[in-house]
Structure 1
Amino acid sequence: MKIFSQSMSTIESALNQASLKQKVISQNVANVDTPGYKAKDVTFKETFQSAMNQSIQANRTNLRHFEFSRNEGKQTGVITRQGVSFNESGNSVDMDQEMSELAANQIQYNALIDRMNGKFSSLQNVIKGGR
């Protein structure tokens, strides 16, 4: 029997992604003055979009069932940002962009935490019998 719904693991995965994004942004900000440092990014959006464009392979027991297929895509990970301009020291960190991404990531993370808290509150309400 599964105690938690699939949404809990989805929220957990999204929180892990947001945490990874936070670490990458922090690395970029910390290395803003490091000569030759190349800004990094997390590939979650590209991975998610490619997964949405693919279908899943499953065993069909009836011809009326939908056909599924799956192609392996890229995994979420840290990549070096491409197509960015470099300053005179060869560094590609843009502080305005990093601060903007940091704020957006913080908003996403807080929304996910609020959603997770809502799930736990619902579970606690069920355990207490609605009291």
Structure 2
Amino acid sequence: MSDFSNALSTSASGLRAQALRLRLTSENIANADTPGYHRKTVPFNSEVDARTGAAVVETGRVNLDRSDLEKIHDPAHPMSDESGNYHGSNVDLMIEIADAREAQRSYEANLKMFDQARQMSSSLLDLLRR
């Protein structure tokens, strides 16, 4: 039964990681027009759970993308400097939409894996009851 619980633990950690990634992608999309906003990213690491021995996905610290901010010329904007420029965000909507789709599909794959392990565990218990 340990293999079933390891499979459940592995897929649950993947679900948590992809949910965080999807949340950060949503924040990035929502703040794409916010002046001075830096895109947020999160790294994934493969770890072994000391208690169960299952391979799990661990998320690292949320990082800010330090690439250059877009320079926008709008002298009427309240944040513009003496030359009429201000810094926009470094969020590329095409990248964020692609990341959101990838996170969604990865989430769905982990959910199917979780459900499959749960169904196999349930079937095994049914067989053992007979």
Question: What SS is found at the alignment partner of 2:127?
Answer: coil
Structure 1 75/20 Cα, relative in aligned 2: closer, same or farther at 3 Å? closer
Structure 1 26/108 Cα, relative in aligned 2: closer, same or farther at 3 Å? same
1:115 counterpart residue number: 113
Contact 2:29–2:93 (CA<8 Å) still a contact in 1? yes
2:28 counterpart residue number: 28
Q: How high is the TM-score relative to the length of structure 1? A: 0.69
**Alignment RMSD:** 2.7
Whether 2:79 is the aligned partner of 1:81: answer no
Larger Rg: 2
Q: How high is the TM-score relative to the length of structure 2? A: 0.70
Q: Percent identity?
A: 28
Q: Which contiguous aligned blocks of 4+ residues in structure 1 show a shift greater than 3 angstroms?
A: 1-4
Q: Distance in 1 between matches of 2:120 and 2:31?
A: 43
- How far 1:125 sits from its partner (Å)? 0.9
Larger strand proportion, structure 1 or 2?
2
Q: What are the superposed Cα offsets for residues 40-61 of structure 1, whole Å, 9 maximum, x if unpaired?
A: 00111xx44xx6xxxxxxxxxx
- How far 1:111 sits from its partner (Å)? 0.5
Contact 2:33–2:88 (CA<8 Å) still a contact in 1? no
1:125 counterpart residue number: 123
1:5 counterpart residue number: 5
Q: Distance in 1 between matches of 2:2 and 2:124?
A: 15
Count, aligned residues: 105
- How far 1:76 sits from its partner (Å)? 1.2
Q: Distance in 2 between matches of 1:122 and 1:31?
A: 43
- Structure 2, unaligned runs of 5 or more: 48-57, 73-86
